Structure 1
Amino acid sequence: MGVPSTSHKPLEIGCKLLCRWRDEQYWMCEVIERRHNLETSEWQYYVHYLSFNRRMDEWVGIERFDLGAQETSGGDGKKVTRNIKRKFDESHHAEEEGELDPVTLREHEEATKVKNINRIAIGKYEMNTWYFSPFPKEYANCDTLYWCEYDLAYFARREHLERYVRTRCKRRHPPGDEIFRQGEMAVYEIDSRVERVFCENLCLLAKLFLDHKTLYFDVQPFLFYAICTCDDQGAHIVGYFSKERVSAEDYNLACILTLPCYQRRGYGKFMISISYELSKREKKLGTPERPLSDLGLVSYRSYWATKMLEILCKHKGTISIQELSDMTFFRPEDIISTLQALDLLKYFGGQHSIYVSPKMVEQYVNKKDNSPPVDPARLQWTPHSERRGNGAMTEGRKPS
């Protein structure tokens, strides 16, 4: 690959050419946007790698391109292999909100095509962002955004955050009530009517990692549940899920996110488990808000399958779909669709039967589980419909 000259005609928006990525290989990309640095007189380009998810989009300089390999279409440049693509797909464990219709999707992608924040720093971690998030204009094109991990105040400069934490923020945990504590894990319920700013900031943070999340400032219909790991320094947020205060469809989860620096540790399964424990206390069947993204469906199918197979392996005799629903608080529709997807429903003698193969037991029941345990006895929570004043937080303990 030749080294480009520092003086060049600016690349056209929409052109396709090879660009050197983080793995030092060249991948075909499309130029989405460009900007001119008046101080250096250099152009920068916002590119989308054609084989990768939009979260890999980034600003690059001209030195990253192979200018001799421009294409009007995909061409025969470097192509992502199945294993490489799987690696990028599996790295995305934040469960995005539902898929959009084609027209809305095009409008969404046009409005959010360029990331406005490149990195965030929160607690002891720094991480690249994946998507656009509608922060106030004064934070537009802020390269790194610095967050207080306890109350989610954010700043454009590290020294501003340090001064804030030193002089103003006395909190060492999220606001709200601690409703669950087991080992190092804690869950805090946050009422958006009481802690509106915290919940809005949490949504802005989540949008950096969820492509199709549409809830930003209309937070009041929702309750938020912050998942934290605790040590002698405080409670460190690793993710959250939200749910509607009142859901006509009995949705027990609206949005769910594990921050990238905490992914692949079982926190997504932990949050799904907590959401179903809340449903059990409410004596209602639970299900996630629809439509589910592909990744969200995979996460839930894995959870539903594991819990059902654990029951089926221990159960003697026949068991009905309704009995499984009564034991798990899963909707019958979710049970049936999961059994069908895993090919566990067989037709024998004029009726359907559930057949549990040794392969399925090995895959879902005997596999190593790295998710934190959930002991229902540790949950100190009363449904809001049963609380005094129909919603006042009277149960749960204040964080220690």
Structure 2
Amino acid sequence: MKPNEETNPKDNAKMIQIIEGCRMPVKMKYSDDWQLGEILSIKNRDDEQLFYIHYSDCNKRLDEWVSQDRLDLKHVQYPKRETKGSMKNGSRQSSPDRETSSIIDHDDDLNKKIHYKKRKLDISVPSVDDQDSQESAINLPHGASGAVIAPSTSGSLSLNNHDDIITRIKNIEMLELGKHRIKPWYFSPYPIELVSEPCIFLCEFCLKYCKSRTCLKRHIQKCDLKHPPGNEIYRKNSLSFFEIDGRKNKHYAQNLCLLAKCFLDHKTLYYDTDPFLFYVLTENDNRGFHIVGYFSKEKESSEDYNVACILTLPPYQRKGYGKLLIEFSYELSKFEGKTGSPEKPLSDLGLLSYRSYWKETILNILTNLKPGENNEKPQITIHDLSEQTSIKKDDIISTLVTNLNLIQYYKGQYIITLTKDILKQQQKIYEKRKIRIDPKCLNWTVKDWSKRGKW
């Protein structure tokens, strides 16, 4: 949909009152496409009005501040008025659109919407001046001043009102981590005195946040870390994995969660990181060990989750590190003698990575099966695949049925049919992926956390 170019938007603005919650076509950045967008917030800057837009049926990382000339004011849809039935205890209840978010994946392999339920955000952040303090401040975007911050029973801070609006608006312009400057995708609850700065500077080894490069230089002179704290449990060539206990290295774990929240929309942050282990992947050079990505897992998971959150930082994406993190999580599950699965819901990019890994791993086993006696066709069960890969049976069945469509019903039994095209495709994928986990380089001891009291 495209507005009439002969109409001056500023003239229309005099006749049309634009408020938060309005929907209208908006011209997308770096494109001539017009996408339906919702105004989440409005602010004034340099005598110009700016509007924070969420594009319908698009991932929230595309949300942005736009000027008025990118709005189609001829097709404004005003928000519906709330009825008495929608009010409860004097507070606004979330509409269905606020309770469930939709993501459209633009990859050909995932051409459908992914729905997930938003979690309640429970957050606590040390202040800039004293990161040992449990007290914290969270910036409130314009239009969300009605939020009330109160202590929760766990000692952390929680958002009581309008928490959905607050977390839907990006609050950080830029992050500098080592030699990389990264534009965040989502809201992250860094202290309020930081988010007003044009850039937040992070120490690439301890992840401490500073409001200026001068402060960072002073910190670097005192910081003696050249790698993440914790034990190095894997090293091959220039890649290493460090295991970090969320209880022993609480400050690092909290800083890592703040950084990860910039790129994981539905991640829930907790002040208490004691129940989690963090596995940080690094690239090594003569300057030290530089963080590439990480995944976390619960020390004890009642549902056999082997990953709670997983992230590859944007400068290192599309280089195979996502699959390497996934492969390493399953390698740990093999050492534990368990099958595992990632905690749901997955982000759109995370789901793509996992589906691709499951597909590649299962096909690699199937294509290398040897015929039985008397040249009988090779046989394997779902249980056998799960035992060899440590992938849960549900994930294997979903991959075979939904993603690969390989299971057929023939003469009273289910069989897996592999075509030559699938075999050729698998061979190309296997050869294309250069970096893999070498189990011989893993130096790790399985711990029984159930016998360690409160860890």
TM-score by length of structure 2 reads 0.73
SS at match of 1:138: helix
Q: Within 5 A, what are the aligned runs for 1:198-209?
A: 198-209=252-263
| Partner residue in 2 for 1:116 | 171
TM-superposed CA distance for 1:385, in Å, is 1.9
SS at match of 1:301: helix
Residue 336 to residue 216, structure 1, CA distance change in 2 (3 Å): same
Considering Cα pairs closer than 8 Å and 6+ residues apart, tell me whether 1 or 2 has the greater RCO: 1
Q: Within 5 A, what are the aligned runs for 1:82-97?
A: 89-90=106-107
Q: Amino acid of the residue matched to residue 70 of structure 2?
A: F
| Partner residue in 2 for 1:31 | 39
Q: Amino acid of the residue matched to residue 52 of structure 2?
A: Y
**What's the RMSD between the two structures over aligned residues?**
3.3
Residue 107 to residue 327, structure 1, CA distance change in 2 (3 Å): farther
Distance 1:25 1:102 in 2: 35
From 292, 299, 304, the counterpart of 1:238: 292
Distance 1:189 1:102 in 2: 27
| Partner residue in 2 for 1:366 | 428
**Contact 2:257-2:269 within 8 A present in 1 as well:** yes
Distance 2:384 2:60 in 1: 43
SS at match of 1:366: helix
SS at match of 1:285: coil
Distance 2:445 2:454 in 1: 10
Distance 1:69 1:140 in 2: 35
TM-superposed CA distance for 1:291, in Å, is 3.8
1:272 aligns with 2:345: no
Residue 336 to residue 126, structure 1, CA distance change in 2 (3 Å): same
How many percent identity over aligned positions? 41
TM-superposed CA distance for 1:328, in Å, is 1.4
Gaps of 5+ in 2: 79-102, 122-160, 371-377
SS at match of 2:199: strand
Question: How many positions carry a matched residue from both structures?
Answer: 371
Distance 2:219 2:38 in 1: 41
Distance 1:330 1:324 in 2: 8
TM-superposed CA distance for 1:19, in Å, is 4.5
Gaps of 5+ in 1: 74-84, 393-400
TM-superposed CA distance for 1:168, in Å, is 1.4
SS at match of 1:330: coil
SS at match of 1:384: coil
Decide which moves more: 338-347 or 40-49.
40-49
SS at match of 1:44: strand
TM-superposed CA distance for 1:53, in Å, is 1.8
| Partner residue in 2 for 1:43 | 49
SS at match of 1:99: strand
1:22 aligns with 2:29: yes
Residue 308 to residue 68, structure 1, CA distance change in 2 (3 Å): closer
SS at match of 1:159: helix
TM-score by length of structure 1 reads 0.82
| Partner residue in 2 for 1:191 | 245
**Contact 1:18-1:69 within 8 A present in 2 as well:** no
Residue 371 to residue 17, structure 1, CA distance change in 2 (3 Å): farther
- For 1:302-337, what per-residue CA distance to the aligned partner results, in whole angstroms no more than 9, with x for missing partners? 212211211111112212222222211222222222
| Partner residue in 1 for 2:207 | 152
